[in-house]
Amino acid sequence: MSGPATRASVPSGQDASTQRILVQGRNLAMQLCVLLKTARIHDVGNVAFHGPLVNFIETVDQLYTAEGEFKLQAVGDFLYINQGRLKLDGSSYASYQYLIDEFRNRGLSGFAFAGKVTPPEVKKFVRLFLDVDVKASDPYVDFSGSLTKLSVEHLVPLRTVVPQSGSINVEEARDSRKVAKRTFYRAIESTKTVMLSARDKRPVDLRKAKRAVQSIVDLILNEEFSLIGLTAIKNHDEYTFQHCVNVSILSISLGQRLGLSKKMLGELGVAAILHDLGKATIPGWVLNKPGKLTAEEWKLMTDHPVQGVKMISKLRGLNELALRAMIVAFEHHLNIDGSGYPKLGDHLAMSLFSRIVAIADCFDAMTAHRSYRKTPFTPYEALHHMLVANKEKFDPLLIKAFVNTVGMYPAGTVVLLDTNEIGVVTEHNSHEIFRPKVKIVADRDRKHVDGAIVDVSHREPGSDTYTVGIVSALNPEEYGINVADALT
């Protein structure tokens, strides 16, 4: 798909002004969404419309002052403000998706803001936008003509760029990706709700987490789209919750490989989501302390499995699921070699679920940004540490099964191919754990490209020779590669 494309996104560590524009872009998108939704209920002359209108105009004003003419555009499943992709998170997902769908229905990719806007102009724009006959042969033309007729000059519609080839397959693939992403972000939202409720001692509705996990299990069982790839996108703002969902996805994937029943996968997924619930009781400054911990802080930190047990015990009903979750919360920092914590009583052997979650937890935690470590490990490095330096800590059979689940170059790993191209691993091949699918992100001249997905397990026809091979894993930051772009 063309458009601003992947290079347009802003790599992490961009300057403050870019970050500010992205924040304002997010506000703009959210406000436009509120504006359109309000106008569906109330007339634009209604007092209820006034607040959203003022907010929207103010944001346009700020952006125009900073950037001059700017664009809000949908490309694929993302929104862009000029060249910067707006960061997707649980709380913005629904609003962004609403705008993308509304734009798409009208044959629009978005709008250019050609100047500061006035209330009458925005009101006319909103009315016309909502009045567009989406069933018309070319709604864009109708809408564009109406805007011109009513002298709406500062909001310029931009036409959708039609995909070039394989429309049906592209659409299908896009839909399954969309479902996967929706599932993923909803799971993060549900986890957030559950954890915040538990933290604030409000009643916890576990049904949300259960439903989220059920969707994840269904997706994994149907193998429609690799959710593991999504776990490699670390969104710092929501990471606390995303970590829980990532651990759940990785655990379910591993559980599926082991042959767990659907019911057990559901229970494993929920237990994994709740594994760090006890961290809700640890003060932020301890969790985020960049340096070493004092004995007291360490005690707090190592107490979170116990706190998790206590918090889960407060949930309504102590059914099988809750019991499994308590065991996992208690055991997930214990290691197979007897190390780890908490050390209480003569604890029996770790449960299978706990051993699974311990692996998934470690893998995801190592690949996340930490306040006390400048750069996270890449998925490749994380796996390397788990398999080599820390292998005695994990169940040897499960770690093998895990490797077979995520591959030796897990999704999100940046690799140098023997074609001298650089790519990001998007998905592993279960039959060839060293040979995943790789999206090309830089050509042999090290220029960023929105390249094709290459299957490294592919062989020359009639030959045993692979068409392409992996030379080495790379550090994405050294090459200015944004892994998230390739994975979404």
Partner 1 sequence: MAQPGTAKNVSPEEKAEKIGDQVLALDVKRVADWIQALVRTLKAYRMYLPNNPTLHKFQSDLEARTWSCLKEIGDIVLNVQQFDLLFEDYSVYHNAAREESLAFRFYTDGVRQMTFREGLEPQELRGLLDVLKKATDPSQGQDDVVTLLWERDFRHIEYVHISIDEIVDESSATQDYEPEAGAIEGGIPWPASPTAAEAEEEAPRTASGESVVERSDDWNPKAPIKSSWDESMGVQFALSEQESKTLHESIVVEEARPLLNEVLEIVAAILTSEEEPTSFLESASAFQKFIELALEEGDLARANQLLSRLRTIAAQRAETHNEFRGLAEQVIREIGRPSFLGQFAPILNAHPELDPGLLTNFLVQIGASAAGAICDLLGQVNHMKHRRALCEALAISCKDDVDVLISRLGDPRWYVIRNVVYVLGRIAHQGVERALDRALHHEDVRVRKEAVRALGNIESPTSRAFLVSAFRDPDASVRIQAALTLAQRRDDRAAQSIWGAISAPEFAKRDQAERRVFFEALGKCGSDSFVPRLSEMLTKGGFFRGTNEEERMNSALTLAWLGTPKAIEVLNRELISKREPVRSAVEAALETVRNAASAGKTPRRGDEMDDDPPASDSPPAGGKP
Site for partner 1 in 168-207 (CB under 8 A): 186, 190, 193, 195-197, 199-200, 202, 205-207
Window contacting partner 1 (CB under 8 A); options: 35-43, 66-74, 97-105, 298-306: 298-306
DSSP for residue 6: G
- Output Rg (C-alpha) for the chain, integer angstroms: 24
Q: Can you tell me which of 273, 366, 422, 481 binds partner 1, judged by CB under 8 A?
A: 366
Between the alpha carbon of residue 314 and those of residues 197, 245, 246, 401, the distances in Å are 12, 22, 24, 34
Pick the piece of the chain touching partner 1 (CB under 8 A) from 19-27, 71-79, 278-286, 441-449: 278-286
Q: Closer to partner 1 at the Cβ: 10 or 75? A: 10
Half-sphere exposure of 437 (CA within 13 A, CB side): 14
Among 289, 419, 429, 449, binds partner 1 (CB under 8 A): 289
Ordered strands of the 414-417 beta sheet: 453-455, 432-442, 422-429, 414-417, 470-474
Of residues 212 through 241, those in contact with partner 1 by CB under 8 A are 214, 236-237, 239-241
Query: 52, 107, 266, 451: which one contacts partner 1 (CB under 8 A)?
Result: 266
Q: Which two tokens stand for residue 111?
A: 């709008």
Is-contact 84 123, C-beta < 8 A?
Answer: no
- HSE of 278, CA atoms in CB hemisphere, 13 A: 25
Closer residue to partner 1 (CB): 162 or 295? 295
- The residue among 2 and 472 lying less far from partner 1, judged by its C-beta, is 472
Does 20 engage in binding with partner 1 (CB under 8 A)? no
Nearest C-alpha neighbor of 266 from the set 334, 213, 190, 194: 213
Residues 390-429, one symbol each (x = binds partner 1 by CB under 8 A, - = not), give: x------xx-xx-xx---xx--------------------
Query: How far apart (Å, rounded) are the C-alpha atoms in residues 334 and 390?
Result: 13
- The DSSP secondary-structure symbol of 461 reads T
In eight-state DSSP terms, residue 86 is: P
Binding mask 28-67 for partner 1 (x = CB under 8 A): ----------------------------------------
Q: Which is nearer to partner 1, 190 or 231 (CB)?
A: 190
Give the one residue of 13, 165, 169, 259 binding partner 1; rule: CB under 8 A.
259
CB 363 within 8 A of CB 402: yes
Cβ neighbours of 93 (radius 10 Å): 18
CB nearer to partner 1: pick between 226 and 240 = 240
Q: Is the peptide bond before 4 cis (omega within 30 degrees of 0)?
A: no
Token pair belonging to 194: 């559950």
Strands of the sheet containing 108-113, edge to edge, are: 84-85, 78-81, 70-75, 108-113, 155-159
Which span sits near partner 1 by CB under 8 A: 122-130, 164-172, 245-253, 366-374? 366-374
| 210 touching partner 1, by CB under 8 A | yes
Contacts 24+ apart (CB under 8 A), 40-44: 40/130, 44/123, 44/126, 44/127
Identify which of residues 2 and 298 has a Cβ nearer to partner 1 in the complex.
Answer: 298
Q: Is 462 in the site for partner 1 (CB under 8 A)?
A: no
Would you call 289 helix, strand, or coil by DSSP? coil
Q: Choose the stretch contacting partner 1; rule: CB under 8 A; options: 18-26, 146-154, 167-175, 256-264.
A: 256-264
CB of 473 to partner 1, least distance (A): 6
Of the residues 351, 419, 429, 467, which one makes contact with partner 1 according to CB under 8 A: 351
Q: Taking the complex as a whole, how short is the minimal distance between the CB of residue 86 and partner 1, in angstroms?
A: 19
Please tell me the count of residues contacting partner 1 according to CB under 8 A: 105
> Taking CB under 8 A as the criterion, which residues in 434-453 touch partner 1?
434
Q: Determine the Cα–Cα distance for residues 95 and 49; give it in Å rounded to an integer.
A: 18
Q: Considering only residues 312-341, where is the footprint of partner 1 by CB under 8 A?
A: 313-314, 316-320, 323-324, 326-327, 330, 333, 341
Q: Which is nearer to partner 1, 345 or 461 (CB)?
A: 345
Closer CB to partner 1, 131 or 434, in the complex: 434
CB 180, min distance to partner 1, A = 17
237 vs 337, beta carbon nearer partner 1: 237
- Minimum distance between the CB of residue 406 and partner 1, rounded to whole angstroms? 11
Taking a C-beta distance cutoff of 8 angstroms, is the pair 160, 108 a contact? yes
Burial 398-424 (b: 16+ CB within 10 A, else e): bbebbbebbbbbbbbbbbbbeeebbbb
Residue selected from 381, 443, 450, 455 as contacting partner 1 according to rule CB under 8 A? 381
Q: For partner 1, give the closer residue by CB, 62 or 197.
A: 197
Question: How many Å apart are CA 67 and CA 282, to the nearest integer?
Answer: 42
